[in-house]
Structure 1
Amino acid sequence: MIVRQTDFKGGLSDDLAAPGRPGVAFWWLGQAGFAFRSGALRLMVDPYLSDSLAAKYRGRPLAHERLMPPPIPPEAVRGLVWCLCSHAHSDHMDPGTLPVLAAHNPNCRFVVPRAEVQTALARGVPKARAVPVNAGEHVELGSGQTIEVIASAHEERVTDAAGQHRYLGYVLRLGGIGFYHSGDCVPYPGLAEHLRAARVRVALLPVNGRDAARTQAGIIGNFSFREAADLCREAGIPWLVAHHVGLFAFNTVPEETLRREAAGVEADLRVILPRYNERYETWMEANQ
């Protein structure tokens, strides 16, 4: 598989809206957010495009002031047909982003954990356009493109009283390519085997890690970079897109540390440390 990284001119809204070329393109939105374009399909996962958390935590410990602005205001997004939220934390299910996306994209449907559907509705997802899901289910996106819903362990796999998972990951089958967006997650038994069977080619994984100080402060952790790389190796995934860094000062990893770790991975794993204003275009080679 080929992934081409290209700087683009102008705004993300224009680049995202441009006619789809062969293959699948994706863009980093900051934190765990990504936008995808596959043919006529426009899809986002976990977009945090507001500053709602700064307002929520202002004057409290661990101020959630953004270290980087959103790459696109939510009102500038057009043509979106799917928006996926992995769980209810506000940097993944944002009350400052979701109602704005809904208002400006009347055909957009919102895939959310069934265990958190009431939270999603309270944060601005229109009830008629909500698609509640649980691990083990599939969503048809059209044109043979699909979502497989799997459980995530945000340090632990957590279910509600009905046994429905509060933290989800999504295996996206777009343009014949398997992408895995874990949401917030750490390694758990059986995950690598599941992803290998799903023939995932690109894993988009959080690498901000976890430690005792953050745990004591109530900050639930994610993969370390090494754990993310190990998961890709065990699952036979050739591309790792490392994210969930650079937004909040109390919950990130220095860029130089990530670059050093990325330089030390095995030769058969290619690592992308995504940037704003960069488009990632993917397609399968003829013999694949």
Structure 2
Amino acid sequence: MAKTINDVSRNSWILSTFPEWGTYLNEEIAATKVKAGSFSIWWLGCTGIWLKTHEDTNILCDLWCGTGKQTHGTGKMKAGHQMMRMSGCQNQQPNLRNQPFVIDPFAIKDVDALCVSHIHSDHLDINTAAAVNKNCPEAKFIGPKEVVATWRKWGVPEEKLIVVKPGDEVKVGAVTIKAMEAFDRTALVTESDPEVKLAGKLPQDMDKIAVNYLFETSGGNLYHAADSHYANEFAKHGNENQIDVALGAYGENPRGITDKVTSIDILRMAESLRAKVVIPVHYDIWTNFYADPKEITELWRLRKDRLQYDFKPFIWQVGGKFTYPEDKDRLEFMYDRGFEDVFTKENDVPFPSFL
């Protein structure tokens, strides 16, 4: 801690401030004992989650430790950017990071697998890969072909890498990880090959760049839809699998863009998946896609008696914990407010009783 202003520099400020939550959440996750017949998840921002089971299997998925715009720059998007390709817009999108860093990636321990859903950098993060590779030497790195190719390029050892495509299953500790079809048009128009960009072609195969995941645990099953847009094939996944909790990439689509799932399609997704709980994520992270998840709750209240399957939405907060099935009937998360032990000792500044 700086003693005088002469001890303060930009670097000292950064190191003393970021990540904003320090190791608070790391410590909470490590200390949590998950009850039999349940699983716990923590929201780390964007679509990043930590899954912990009763058997103490720990799965990290899509943790992103980067940031968005930090300068106005030229004010233009780079040629070939997926948002430019989809919309025909040249002006830079103002995607500023909207949430604090709630976890310290370099204090991560005991991760059994890092799963990444697709190739976009707000899901596939070099900082997370470096931290998990260093701190969790036995952890597996699981992702579709192009995700694994990126990890390989970054230097993740070959023996840790596992390529998955829809239909594949990987057993990690007490969790069975199923790779499923992704429905992410935005990822589909992301292409690094200049010739493909110039020809206006789409990449050859969605299955090589993106998957959705189903995490099957002894306490229930978690479906991670990553950045999938709404698709009728969600019903196929719901028919073929038991899905208890589903995460969907919700957001407010800017004019001329369809990138995030809307509030009504979050409900359609949950109904198609036959989930018991649906949780919107991703809307939190980019200022230009920020949305109010209460819109989902209100639409659910209007429609719940007409829905084909019974489920509830759950409105989360970044850094918050959700335990299934303990929290399945809750509609909203609230941070710990503390002071459970109030008045267990004599307070030395008593208020007059009339206050």
TM-score, structure 2 normalization: 0.68
Q: How big is the alpha-carbon RMSD for the aligned residues of Structure 1 and Structure 2?
A: 2.7
Per-residue deviation, residues 213-266 of structure 1 (Å, max 9, x unmatched): 336xxxxx1321211211211332110011111211112213554454454451
Deviation, 1:94, is: 1.1
Structure 2 letter corresponding to 1:139: V
Structure 1 letter corresponding to 2:211: L
> In structure 1, how many angstroms separate the alpha carbons of the residues matched to 2:59 and 2:269?
25
Aligned residues: 268
The answer (yes or no) to whether the contact 2:44–2:319 under 8 Å persists in 1 is no
Q: Counterpart of 1:251?
A: 289
> In structure 2, how many angstroms separate the alpha carbons of the residues matched to 1:14 and 1:163?
37
Structure 2 letter corresponding to 1:282: Y
Q: Is the partner of 1:14 in helix, strand or coil? A: helix
2:106 matched to 1:90?
no
Q: Counterpart of 1:224?
A: 262
Structure 2 letter corresponding to 1:175: S
> In structure 2, how many angstroms separate the alpha carbons of the residues matched to 1:254 and 1:72?
24
Matches within 5 A, 1:161-176: 161=204, 164-176=207-219
Q: Counterpart of 1:208?
A: 251
Q: Is the partner of 1:146 in helix, strand or coil? A: strand
2:42 matched to 1:40?
no
The answer (yes or no) to whether the contact 2:182–2:211 under 8 Å persists in 1 is yes
Q: Is the partner of 1:96 in helix, strand or coil? A: helix
Aligned residue among 33, 38, 44 for 1:20: 33
Q: CA distance change for structure 1 residues 214 and 150 in 2, over 3 Å: closer, same or farther?
A: same
Aligned residue among 314, 317, 320 for 1:278: 320
Q: CA distance change for structure 1 residues 255 and 235 in 2, over 3 Å: closer, same or farther?
A: closer
Structure 1 letter corresponding to 2:313: V
Per-residue deviation, residues 70-124 of structure 1 (Å, max 9, x unmatched): 1112112111111110001001101232212221222211111113322232345
Q: Counterpart of 1:11?
A: 24
Structure number with higher strand proportion? 1
Matches within 5 A, 1:142-157: 142-143=173-174, 145-155=175-185
Q: Counterpart of 2:233?
A: 190
Q: Counterpart of 1:3?
A: none
TM-score, structure 1 normalization: 0.83
Q: CA distance change for structure 1 residues 163 and 44 in 2, over 3 Å: closer, same or farther?
A: closer
Deviates more, 1:256-265 or 1:126-135: 256-265
Q: Is the partner of 1:266 in helix, strand or coil? A: helix
Deviation, 1:62, is: 2.5
Structure 2 letter corresponding to 1:78: K
Per-residue deviation, residues 148-193 of structure 1 (Å, max 9, x unmatched): 1111111378595577432210011012411100111122233212
> Which structure has more RCO (C-alpha within 8 Å, separation ≥ 6)?
1
Matches within 5 A, 1:57-206: 59=73, 60=75, 61-123=92-154, 125-143=156-174, 145-155=175-185, 158=188, 161=204, 164-206=207-249
> In structure 2, how many angstroms separate the alpha carbons of the residues matched to 1:76 and 1:154?
32
Q: CA distance change for structure 1 residues 163 and 228 in 2, over 3 Å: closer, same or farther?
A: closer
Deviation, 1:58, is: 6.2
> In structure 2, how many angstroms separate the alpha carbons of the residues matched to 1:170 and 1:269?
20
The answer (yes or no) to whether the contact 1:81–1:109 under 8 Å persists in 2 is yes
Q: CA distance change for structure 1 residues 95 and 238 in 2, over 3 Å: closer, same or farther?
A: same
Q: CA distance change for structure 1 residues 24 and 176 in 2, over 3 Å: closer, same or farther?
A: closer
Q: CA distance change for structure 1 residues 75 and 208 in 2, over 3 Å: closer, same or farther?
A: same
Q: Counterpart of 1:7?
A: none
Q: CA distance change for structure 1 residues 264 and 33 in 2, over 3 Å: closer, same or farther?
A: farther
> In structure 2, how many angstroms separate the alpha carbons of the residues matched to 1:204 and 1:255?
13
Could you tell me which runs of 5 or more consecutive residues in structure 1 were left unpaired when the two chains were aligned.
1-9, 216-220
Per-residue deviation, residues 24-83 of structure 1 (Å, max 9, x unmatched): 1101011111101112211111101233x446x762523443211111121121111111
The answer (yes or no) to whether the contact 2:118–2:187 under 8 Å persists in 1 is no
Question: Percent identity among equivalent residues?
Answer: 19
Structure with bigger gyration radius:
2
Could you tell me which runs of 5 or more consecutive residues in structure 2 were left unpaired when the two chains were aligned.
1-22, 76-91, 189-201, 327-355
Q: CA distance change for structure 1 residues 63 and 107 in 2, over 3 Å: closer, same or farther?
A: farther
Q: CA distance change for structure 1 residues 86 and 252 in 2, over 3 Å: closer, same or farther?
A: same
